[in-house]
A and B are shown apart, each in its own frame.
Chain A
Amino acid sequence: MKQNSAKDPSTLASLHPTQAREQHYRSYHNSMRMHGSHYMALRRPSRVPESGREYSPGDPVNLIDWKAYARTDQLIVREVRDEASSRIVIGIDLSETMQWPAPDQVRTPMPSKAEIATRVGLNLAHLHLRMGDLVEIWLFDDGNHEKPKYRAKPRSPSDIVSIFERVRSQGFSAAEMKSEFNEHVYQSRKSNIAIFIGDGLGAADYCGFLALGVRSVMFHLLSSMEIDLNWIEDDTSYFDEGLNKREYQGSVLKHGQGYQAQLRAWMGKIEAKLRKQGSTGMQITDRTGIAAYLDLLTQCQVAG
């Protein structure tokens, strides 16, 4: 990933909901994407015409395309594809750890993980709403709760844009975000696609959230400052007062190899957990380029 500045317009720090990759229709259809209609068939190049498939015993005989048979000597059944809206569930983690880094904690202002998560989440919601999907956005706001407490059901892409503008005007504060949502009791309902955006450091049960989706993806979001420790000062002490209070000297974090190794190991564990349940994990930071992000969208593996 290219190291870009915090507000580099090419990074996710500047992602807008309306930003999406425009594709040729064919590549749109043929691409492995997770946005769009719910049914995507893995198509291999074949001589079978579009909207047809090979005859399987038991298929209705009156649907056999005799002209295609005459051409190809293959029994082809004509099929009209009905396209239905997908139910998309997007979960955005806005817990305490996602608010990091706060403006008073770093010298140069950096977008918080919550901002990036909000941008990505609204972007995905916009994309799906354009496709005519039903989108639900859930917010995980409390680091101690596993389930989300706030829900929004935008009806149109313009709703998303409005939400984004308001939230952006308030600096992507969690309170403003929550004010756009309604408090709602979370009910575990199946969805076609479940998407979770968070850092995995809070108590949010992202595995449970993703398990309800037929296809599921977790955007594992970390701050670039959490990955790259060049900004750390040797004499400063870095702490966390979560479940297990920990504190380390900057020099220990920076110069030892332990931090990077343990971070990678942890990230690997999350990925393995997701894979185990059939979800896909994608690593993004505030410095991930938009183009790369959009490529991820089209390139992500879909289970089942």
Chain B
Amino acid sequence: MPVMNAAYDITQIFFATIGAGVLGLIIWWLVRKRQKRLWLPTVRILDMERKILPKLVFRLPPLLAFLCFLLAAVVAVLFSARPRTLVFTPFEPNQTRIHIFVDMSPSVSAHQSLDGIADKVSVLFSTLKISGRVTVSTSHSKGVSEPTDAAQVATQIKSLGFHRPGLKLGNALKEMLDDIGDVDRLFVISDKDQFSWTGFNWKYLLDDMDVIFYDMSDESKALVENFYVSEARYLSAPASSSMDWEVEVARHNTAGESQGTVTATFMGKELGVFPWKIPVGRQRAIISVNWPVTAIGESGNDPGFADTPVVLSLKTDGVDLISADNEFRVFLQGAKKDILLIADGNSEQNLEDPTSQLQIALEVLGFKIHRRDFIVQPGPGASEYPFWVIVGGTGNGHDRYCPTSVELARLQYKDKQGAKDGRRRDMPRIWLAPHDLEANYPEMCRCYVRLIRSNDASDPAFCAEVTSRTHWITLLPSLGAKQIGGDYGREDQAVAFTQRDDNSGLEVLAFTIPLKPSRQTGVNHAAMPVLIQDLLRWQGVLETGNRLAAHWPRAEDIVEILWRAANSSDPLDLTRVRNSNVPIGESTIAPGENASFPPKWTAQANWSEKQLASKKDREDPLPWLKLAAFLLAAICLLEAVILLIARFGKNVFRRQELLILLAAAGAVLVPQKADAGMALHVNTSALSEGETYETLARELASRTSLELEKTAKVSRVLNKAALSEPWLFANGVGDLTQPDGRLKPEVATWIKRGGFLVIENQTSEQLLSKLTEGMRMAVQDGWMALPPDHEMMRSFYLLDALPDCNSNVWRGFHFDGRLAVIAVPFSLLSVLKDRPSPSPCAAQPEFERSVRVFVNLVMVALATDYKKDQIHLPEILKRLR
């Protein structure tokens, strides 16, 4: 047990446990004095004062139970001191994980340019690369990359650029760390922006890793202003002839007067330039931005314009820190949509025009009406107007108002798959309404079928039977239309029926009532516009057409909006989010408190060596837990043995104390466990006795399960003691050879029996060959320079080469299929001892490399080439698979 290496905490609990233990021990010995008791009947008539306190004496307690309590008390006292062993974990570059997280939020762009941050990150990468495996990720996405060089890092950052959505570091790192697993060091490259750091409790990460903050803040820019558009509100009514907006311009400081302009553009066309001025001491200014509806022009009808924002670009006469927040996007609002109204007016008088109220309602809702009394077939193109209202059933034939162009356009998509993204393929929405309750419903039927149902130009025969409104109402659901309005199951109460052609996206809403106020239908003048408005809203004609809300997104946290939704969102939505307005928190550039940030990284040249310790101590309570388990088992075993003997050996063993003594004596007489430590036996005059290899022993113990004795056994001459060891280090061949240069017979026998010889400082190939003359058994036996694929290169560590010395290489002698003798061109032990001596080699061997070579050497000496062992074959094959 490494008691010397243990750490203890002597606290109040320790002393309290001692006190409780001592008290318990005393109680074990303290008993009430047993008294003889006799019955005396006349005592019952007495009423005298009694002695209350019993007499207490010290008596010998029951041995077994007392011993168990004593052991338990000792264990409890020991554990109250929280014993733990310090375990050294060596530094392993291949196994040390370093991750660099780069914050590319808009606030960082206030302090560093894109090139600047790319350069800084690449320099950091270069510095850290030698310290371990370095991975890099940015706030753009969850993805983690492992660049091979710094240039790759810089390229990656420059290609991504700063993003417009904000960033919450806490969310981002949590998401990322869940995916990448264990990290030893985390570098967070960011500014001190409070908006990003709020809610990030980096201290909870310290249990698992080191967190270092690479501060990108530029203090020199503290007084520089940042201007941004904080809000834009649409003010105009739907029927207004101009689009009026109220735009708020803000800045994050209040010093000085600032001015500039706001330019509104839409689809590349400039709508207007509007000046703004923020007086001294103020942070905001509200300006009016407006342009006539006609400035939007025909582009307002383009179905794609609903997804195109109006861009308000802010310019300032002074310096502006963040450029991303100078662009503010809003959805276009107030653009009038075109509606084609095909209705045969009965006369010039409005009162007799069945569509006059409908027109008024549509105009109030902001539509531009194109009125036609009748059409000439095939009629306007299907994509010419986004919205058609056809008032039919006049009795003059449905060709006057029912266009074949729509039918033809629909049939174009007949064999194609339906629009899976729900977007119409330039097909209009059509309302088909009777001009009166007593309309010509066969005409209505034919028109309906032409629009939505027909596969050819033939006249549907069943329409002749639709002679009344009731038939009309019954027909529509039978053709697959869905009821709009009224109670479920009460089709007679329906206002309309809707049907959509999935292939083309054409929607037809067939009304059962005329679209005009009527006492018969119950739709009055007040209800008429509301009905129209509700229907238009339901169809989505009144909205801008996207589901992301009327406001252009302003993403506070890119993690929420892009990281988590990346797989599920509509590509259009993702694009919109990437172009989101910069959140106000990023624009205000409010720095956090210095104390709330992790330790800062400093760009010193030898930082990585200094900061990254070669050993990392950790507390290991495991040995003490093992001790407690051992004691518990020992106590139980002792009790079981004693009880058994007490039960079956009563006549032989009458005293429990004797049993305890016998058990203890038995433990002493048990043969001692053999020493499992390895010893370095050195046959040389070059090393003095008492040379220690403590560092080497510790490294070996921490990396492998081998324990090396700290002091080498040195013998000046070859003797029995030396040849009783399994391996031997010799400095040169002097003492090992006979006069003819061959190995001494006892050494040769020792090698044949499995000994492993390491000859240091020996380079002569001739001498080595002479050494082992006559020892070859198999064809492959003999001396050879150790090739790169030799088992020495891969027995534990993967080595690309063994350290040579003045171009002299390592040579090995194979005997009976195993490496039996190895010749090292320099003194490996001199490098590995606690006080290393310089070697004559041109390039001094590094300690770490030498340790690895030594470990490999030990493994070869102990286990040879395990791959050649048949017993390992199934495991090897399993791994290969």
Are A239 and B36 in contact, with the CB atoms below 8 A? no
Partner among A240, A249, A256, A263 whose Cβ is within 8 Å of the Cβ of B39: A240
Q: Is A66 an interface residue (CB 8 A)?
A: no
Q: Is B416 an interface residue (CB 8 A)?
A: no
Are B42 and A263 in contact, with the CB atoms below 8 A? yes
Measured in the bound complex, the distance between the Cα atoms of B50 and A237 in whole Å is 11
Q: Is A181 an interface residue (CB 8 A)?
A: no
Measured in the bound complex, the distance between the Cα atoms of B38 and A34 in whole Å is 39
Secondary structure at the A interface, as helix, strand, loop or mixed, is: mixed
Closest to A262 in B: B46
Shortest distance from the beta carbon of B485 to any chain A beta carbon, whole Å: 95
Residues of A within 8 A of B269 (CB): none
Are A226 and B44 in contact, with the CB atoms below 8 A? no
Measured in the bound complex, the distance between the Cα atoms of B37 and A292 in whole Å is 35
Are A201 and B42 in contact, with the CB atoms below 8 A? yes
Residues of A within 8 A of B39 (CB): 100, 105, 238-241
Residues of A within 8 A of B48 (CB): 248, 252, 256, 258-259, 262
Are B37 and A238 in contact, with the CB atoms below 8 A? yes
Q: Is A82 an interface residue (CB 8 A)?
A: no
Closest to B48 in A: A258
Q: Is B35 an interface residue (CB 8 A)?
A: yes
Shortest distance from the beta carbon of B724 to any chain A beta carbon, whole Å: 73
Q: Is B40 an interface residue (CB 8 A)?
A: yes
Residues of B within 8 A of A105 (CB): 38-39
Residues of B within 8 A of A243 (CB): 44
Q: Is B652 an interface residue (CB 8 A)?
A: no
Q: Is B43 an interface residue (CB 8 A)?
A: yes
Are B37 and A236 in contact, with the CB atoms below 8 A? yes
Q: Which of B12-64 contact A (CB under 8 A)?
A: 35-51
Are B38 and A237 in contact, with the CB atoms below 8 A? yes
Partner among A235, A239, A256, A266 whose Cβ is within 8 Å of the Cβ of B40: A239
Are B46 and A236 in contact, with the CB atoms below 8 A? no
Residues of B within 8 A of A226 (CB): 40-42
Are A201 and B41 in contact, with the CB atoms below 8 A? yes
Residues of A within 8 A of B43 (CB): 238-240, 246-248, 253
Measured in the bound complex, the distance between the Cα atoms of B33 and A237 in whole Å is 12
Shortest distance from the beta carbon of A100 to any chain B beta carbon, whole Å: 5
Are B44 and A235 in contact, with the CB atoms below 8 A? no
Q: Which of A15-31 contact B (CB under 8 A)?
A: none
Measured in the bound complex, the distance between the Cα atoms of B38 and A239 in whole Å is 6
Are A236 and B38 in contact, with the CB atoms below 8 A? yes
Q: Which of A211-239 contact B (CB under 8 A)?
A: 222, 226, 233, 235-239
Partner among B35, B38, B50, B51 whose Cβ is within 8 Å of the Cβ of A246: B50
Residues of A within 8 A of B49 (CB): 252
Q: Is A118 an interface residue (CB 8 A)?
A: no
Q: Is A97 an interface residue (CB 8 A)?
A: yes
Q: Is A199 an interface residue (CB 8 A)?
A: yes
Are A222 and B46 in contact, with the CB atoms below 8 A? no
Residues of A within 8 A of B37 (CB): 236-239, 247
Closest to B43 in A: A240
Measured in the bound complex, the distance between the Cα atoms of B39 and A226 in whole Å is 11
Measured in the bound complex, the distance between the Cα atoms of B50 and A240 in whole Å is 13
Closest to A102 in B: B39
Q: Is A242 an interface residue (CB 8 A)?
A: yes
Measured in the bound complex, the distance between the Cα atoms of B45 and A238 in whole Å is 13
Interface size class of A (residues with CB under 8 A): 20 to 34
Are A235 and B36 in contact, with the CB atoms below 8 A? yes
Interface size class of B (residues with CB under 8 A): 10 to 19
Residues of A within 8 A of B51 (CB): 249, 252
Q: Is A244 an interface residue (CB 8 A)?
A: yes
Are B46 and A258 in contact, with the CB atoms below 8 A? yes
Are B46 and A259 in contact, with the CB atoms below 8 A? yes
Measured in the bound complex, the distance between the Cα atoms of B542 and A85 in whole Å is 135
Known: A247-B50, A249-B51, A252-B51. A238 touches B40 (CB 8 A): yes
Residues of B within 8 A of A235 (CB): 35-36
Shortest distance from the beta carbon of B195 to any chain A beta carbon, whole Å: 81
Shortest distance from the beta carbon of A220 to any chain B beta carbon, whole Å: 12
Measured in the bound complex, the distance between the Cα atoms of B37 and A100 in whole Å is 15
Are B47 and A262 in contact, with the CB atoms below 8 A? yes
Residues of A within 8 A of B36 (CB): 233, 235-237
Residues of B within 8 A of A237 (CB): 35-38
Known: A249-B51, A252-B51. A242 touches B40 (CB 8 A): no
Known: A248-B48, A248-B50. A222 touches B42 (CB 8 A): yes
Residues of B within 8 A of A239 (CB): 37-40, 43
Residues of A within 8 A of B46 (CB): 246, 248, 253, 258-259, 262
Are A201 and B45 in contact, with the CB atoms below 8 A? yes
Closest to B36 in A: A236
Residues of B within 8 A of A222 (CB): 42
Measured in the bound complex, the distance between the Cα atoms of B40 and A252 in whole Å is 14
Point out which of A199, A242, A248, A263 has the most chain B C-beta atoms below 10 A from its C-beta. Answer: A248
Shortest distance from the beta carbon of A133 to any chain B beta carbon, whole Å: 33
Shortest distance from the beta carbon of B35 to any chain A beta carbon, whole Å: 5
Measured in the bound complex, the distance between the Cα atoms of B180 and A22 in whole Å is 123
Measured in the bound complex, the distance between the Cα atoms of B42 and A236 in whole Å is 16
Residues of B within 8 A of A262 (CB): 45-48
Q: Which of A85-110 contact B (CB under 8 A)?
A: 96-97, 100, 105
Are A238 and B38 in contact, with the CB atoms below 8 A? yes
Shortest distance from the beta carbon of B357 to any chain A beta carbon, whole Å: 109
Residues of B within 8 A of A100 (CB): 39-41
Give a binary string over A124-137; 1 marks a CB under 8 Å from any B CB, 0 the rest.
00000000000000
Measured in the bound complex, the distance between the Cα atoms of B47 and A266 in whole Å is 11
Point out which of A246, A252, A263 has the most chain B C-beta atoms below 10 A from its C-beta. Answer: A246
Are A244 and B44 in contact, with the CB atoms below 8 A? yes
Point out which of B35, B38, B42 has the most chain A C-beta atoms below 10 A from its C-beta. Answer: B42
Measured in the bound complex, the distance between the Cα atoms of B42 and A242 in whole Å is 10
Measured in the bound complex, the distance between the Cα atoms of B220 and A106 in whole Å is 109
Known: A97-B41, A263-B42. A236 touches B47 (CB 8 A): no
Measured in the bound complex, the distance between the Cα atoms of B44 and A262 in whole Å is 11
Residues of B within 8 A of A258 (CB): 46, 48
Measured in the bound complex, the distance between the Cα atoms of B39 and A100 in whole Å is 9
Measured in the bound complex, the distance between the Cα atoms of B48 and A97 in whole Å is 20
Residues of A within 8 A of B47 (CB): 262
Measured in the bound complex, the distance between the Cα atoms of B41 and A226 in whole Å is 8
Measured in the bound complex, the distance between the Cα atoms of B38 and A235 in whole Å is 11
Closest to A235 in B: B35
Measured in the bound complex, the distance between the Cα atoms of B49 and A242 in whole Å is 18
Are A266 and B45 in contact, with the CB atoms below 8 A? yes
Measured in the bound complex, the distance between the Cα atoms of B42 and A238 in whole Å is 10
Partner among A199, A252, A253 whose Cβ is within 8 Å of the Cβ of B41: A199
Residues of A within 8 A of B50 (CB): 246-249, 252
Measured in the bound complex, the distance between the Cα atoms of B37 and A235 in whole Å is 9
Residues of B within 8 A of A201 (CB): 41-42, 44-45
Closest to B46 in A: A262
Residues of B within 8 A of A249 (CB): 50-51
Closest to A233 in B: B36
Measured in the bound complex, the distance between the Cα atoms of B44 and A222 in whole Å is 14
Measured in the bound complex, the distance between the Cα atoms of B49 and A41 in whole Å is 52
Closest to A226 in B: B42
Residues of B within 8 A of A256 (CB): 48
Shortest distance from the beta carbon of B190 to any chain A beta carbon, whole Å: 83
Residues of B within 8 A of A236 (CB): 35-38
Shortest distance from the beta carbon of A298 to any chain B beta carbon, whole Å: 30
Residues of A within 8 A of B35 (CB): 235-237
Are A246 and B41 in contact, with the CB atoms below 8 A? no
What is the interface of chain A, defined by CB distance below 8 A to chain B? 96-97, 100, 105, 199, 201, 222, 226, 233, 235-244, 246-249, 252-253, 256, 258-259, 262-263, 266
Beyond the given pairs A246-B44, A262-B48, 7 more chain A to chain B contacts, judged by CB atoms under 8 angstroms and listed by A's residue number, are: A199-B41, A201-B42, A201-B45, A235-B35, A239-B40, A239-B43, A252-B48
Q: Could you list 6 examples of A-B contacts with CB < 8 Å?
A: A100-B39, A237-B35, A241-B39, A247-B50, A259-B48, A262-B46
The 5 closest A-B pairs by CB, nearest first: A240-B43, A97-B41, A238-B40, A240-B44, A242-B44
